[in-house]
Amino acid sequence: MSIVAKKYARAIFECGQEQSKLEHYAAEFSAIKVVLEQSAFLHRVLMYPRIRPAEKVQILEKVCELHFSREVANLLVLLFERGRAKELMQVSEEFARLMKDYENLVEVQVASAIDLPVELESQLHQRLEQLTGKRVSLRKVTDPALIGGMVITIGDRVIDGSIRSALQTLSKKLAYHS
């Protein structure tokens, strides 16, 4: 994440707080992110220097099928005028991260060899909320290669309680002592 993207995201986030428009801005940035992820062609169009910044904003509005708030539109024009169109995705991602912090929400990925039973998932959800002190958005992933157990990822922290990991550790210890 570039420093520039963080600064732009922080600026529009603070503007949204002051004007009580955070949810509205979040929806706009979410739409931008989805569209940019789905269209490499649109990405190239936004980088094209001969299209005026205001026209690029209009193109984005049409593709996203919404009318941007004045503040978000101004931010987009500013990014395009300053040759920072490539930062748009990062600004969108940083804004989403700031929103999660603001809402006291953390995304947690839980990978397991099989689908988790509902009761275990509920217990895990409660325990993770206690552990993090935040509301938890649980994203489940099934990975048969884990053999058993689970791998929990919270931000940049990884808690690996999988059988695969235990077997790899055991294998390394056996190889070291041989």
Q: 58-94: per-residue pLDDT in tens?
A: 998 888 887 889 899 999 989 988 988 889 999 999 9
Reply yes or no on domain 104-177 having CATH 3.40.30.
Answer: yes
Residues 6+ apart with CB under 8 A from 101: none
CATH 3.40.30 spans which residues of the chain? 104-177
The residue-averaged pLDDT of 23-36 equals 92
Distance, C-alpha 119 to centroid of its chain: 27
Model confidence at 170, in pLDDT bands (50, 70, 90)?
Answer: very high
Distance, C-alpha 166 to centroid of its chain: 30
**What Rg value do the Cα atoms of the chain yield, rounded?**
21
- pLDDT higher than threshold 80 for residue 110: yes
Angle at 157 between CA 153 and CA 161, to 5 degrees: 60
Q: Are strands 105-112 and 135-142 parallel, antiparallel or unpaired?
A: parallel
The end-to-end CA distance of the chain, in Å, is 45
SS3 52: coil
The residue-averaged pLDDT of 109-125 equals 96
82, 29 contact by CB (below 8 A):
no
CATH 1.10.520.20 spans which residues of the chain? 3-101
- pLDDT higher than threshold 80 for residue 142: yes
User: For domain 3-101, which architecture applies?
Assistant: Orthogonal Bundle (1.10)
Model confidence at 117, in pLDDT bands (50, 70, 90)?
Answer: very high
Model confidence at 27, in pLDDT bands (50, 70, 90)?
Answer: very high
